[in-house]
Amino acid sequence: MQNAPQPGLPDWKSAGEYGDIVYETAEGIAKITINRPEVHNAFRPQTLFELQEAFNAARDDSEVGVVIFTGAGDRAFCSGGDQKIRGEDGYLGDDAVARQGIGRLNVLDLQVQIRRLPKPVVCMVAGYSIGGGNVLQVCCDLTIAADNAVFGQTGPRVGSFDGGYGSWLLAQTVGLKKAREIWYLCRQYSAAEALEMGMVNAVVPLERLEAETVSWAREMLAKSPLALRMVKGAINAVSDGAAGMQQFAGDATMLYYMSEEAQEGRDAFKEKRRPEFDRFPRRP
Ligand code: S0N
């Protein structure tokens, strides 16, 4: 049985059965929660497969305009890869691949998926946002942090590093010197420090975290979904290079498909006639 919603908060409804995560929707918002609080929401391969499925569901659901990504409980958003099942070449799940002793690094697929999802993804952080968990936070479009949030990278301390988004997107977010400090020293930073360095958008008291995050989501839901999609694509295209341009170009094609001019080309082909493009302006 689901609990009654807190006043002002959406009446979240479960939108799928998962083991390591919870996927809920309400009011045009999808909420995806890593549900492994016993390990500070560290992820294992199964967690990441489930997250990928939920993010895909949110992408495909035309009712959903904004995604909130969070962790269960108030002690951690995510503490990165589950070090207890880290093998010799990646993380070992409970499947045929793992039984051959072959590990996975499938958090990388999720990072790309969050960047490519054409809807804003808001990270809602209470407690720790550490290691690969913090890289996921950096990949999200916006971050709202509770005042108990703690941010940091641990790679060089625990024998790992993220040379992709975890390094250069972090540097783009907080500046080169600060990104080097974060990685080289593996310190932990308070929510206030994260706000000051531009790693998060807002810091609120823990008890107001969800209400504030939902209010940001509602504000975005009142905006043009296509405009948000194009702005997200444009901002990411600069840092994603050719892959980012490929996505942005795809969006341009989608918009062109939606025009009468493109539809005239399609209709003329189907009707076996010459297309009448003369009726469309040669725009300045
Ligand atoms: C978060 C920390 C600082 C919290 O300390 P605190 O409050 O003292 O709690 P603990 O007692 O330490 O933790 C409570 C329980 O949770 C377990 N736990 C915590 N974090 C993890 C974890 N990451 N994996 C497994 N278990 C975890 C604790 O063990 C404890 O349980 P018990 O009592 O039963 O032992 C502190 O917990 C901490 O420092 N955690 C580790 C943070 C860390 O180093 N994370 C990994 C960093 N590396 C990555 O994430 C890999 C990066 C990555 O994913 C990647 C990047 C690029 C390319 C590929 C990859 C890839 O690997 O996929």
Domain of 246 in residue numbering reads as 225-271
Q: Tokens standing for 97?
A: 């691949």
Q: Give the tens place of pLDDT for each residue, 149-198.
A: 999 999 999 999 999 999 999 999 999 999 999 999 999 999 999 999 99
Question: What is the pLDDT averaged over residues 197-221?
Answer: 98
Q: Say yes or no: 231 and 149 in one domain.
A: no
Q: Per-residue pLDDT for 113 more than 60? A: yes
H/E stretch holding 13 reads strand 13-14
Asked which of 222, 239, 260 is the last residue of a domain, the reply is: 222
Q: Say yes or no: 21 and 130 in one domain.
A: yes
Specify the CATH number for the domain of residue 18: 3.90.226.10
Q: Say yes or no: 181 and 231 in one domain.
A: no
Evaluate whether residue 175 is within a structural domain.
Answer: yes
Evaluate whether residue 169 is within a structural domain.
Answer: yes
Q: Say yes or no: 110 and 155 in one domain.
A: yes
CA of 84 to the centre of ligand 1 (A): 9
Q: Tokens standing for 172?
A: 């783009």
- Taking alpha carbons only, the member of 238, 99, 259 closest to residue 172 is 238
Three-state SS letters, 229-248: HHHHHHHHHHHHHHHHHHHH
Question: Quick check: 32 and 21 in contact, CB under 8 A?
Answer: yes
What's residue 100's pLDDT? 87
Evaluate whether residue 3 is within a structural domain.
Answer: no
Q: Say yes or no: 143 and 237 in one domain.
A: no
Q: Give the tens place of pLDDT for each residue, 63-108.
A: 999 999 999 999 999 999 999 989 888 899 888 888 888 888 899 9
Evaluate whether residue 136 is within a structural domain.
Answer: yes
Evaluate whether residue 279 is within a structural domain.
Answer: no
Q: Say yes or no: 193 and 242 in one domain.
A: no
What is the chain's mean pLDDT, rounded?
96
Q: Say yes or no: 204 and 113 in one domain.
A: yes
Q: Residue of the nearest CA to atom 48 in ligand 1?
A: 131
Evaluate whether residue 116 is within a structural domain.
Answer: yes
State which of 78, 79, 154 you would mutate to test the pocket of ligand 1, scoring each by most atoms of that ligand within 8 A of its C-beta.
79
CA of 122 to the centre of ligand 1 (A): 22
CA of 82 to the centre of ligand 1 (A): 6
Q: Please measure the distance between the N-terminal and C-terminal CA atoms of the chain and give it in whole angstroms.
A: 59
Q: Say yes or no: 115 and 249 in one domain.
A: no
- Taking alpha carbons only, the member of 248, 8, 211, 7 closest to residue 124 is 211
Q: Give the tens place of pLDDT for each residue, 77-87.
A: 999 999 998 98
Question: What is the pLDDT averaged over residues 46-58?
Answer: 97
Task: Tell me the C-alpha distance between 149 and 40, whole Å.
Answer: 13
What's residue 2's pLDDT? 52
CA of 81 to the centre of ligand 1 (A): 7
Q: What share of the chain is helix, strand, coil (3-state, %, to 5)?
A: 50, 15, 35
What 3-state class would DSSP assign to 71? strand
What's residue 1's pLDDT? 47
Count of the separate structural domains present in the chain: 2
Q: Say yes or no: 148 and 266 in one domain.
A: no
CA 47, 50, 54, 57: dihedral to nearest 10 degrees? Answer: 160
Question: What is the pLDDT averaged over residues 244-261?
Answer: 96
Q: Residue of the nearest CA to atom 26 in ligand 1?
A: 39
Question: Quick check: 195 and 203 in contact, CB under 8 A?
Answer: yes
pTM tops 0.90: yes
Specify the CATH number for the domain of residue 263: 1.10.12.10
Question: Quick check: 2 and 12 in contact, CB under 8 A?
Answer: yes
What's residue 174's pLDDT? 98
Q: Say yes or no: 147 and 105 in one domain.
A: yes
Evaluate whether residue 276 is within a structural domain.
Answer: no
Q: Say yes or no: 181 and 261 in one domain.
A: no
Integer-rounded Cα radius of gyration of the chain: 21
Is residue 131 annotated as involved in ligand binding?
yes
Q: Percentage of the chain with pLDDT > 90?
A: 89
Evaluate whether residue 132 is within a structural domain.
Answer: yes
Q: Say yes or no: 92 and 32 in one domain.
A: yes
Question: Quick check: 152 and 189 in contact, CB under 8 A?
Answer: yes
Question: What is the pLDDT averaged over residues 41-62?
Answer: 97
- As to burial, measured by CB atoms within 10 angstroms (0-12 exposed, 13-18 middle, 19+ buried), residue 241 is exposed
Task: Tell me the C-alpha distance between 178 and 160, whole Å.
Answer: 19
Q: Percentage of the chain with pLDDT > 70?
A: 98
What's residue 3's pLDDT? 61
Q: Model ipTM?
A: 0.95
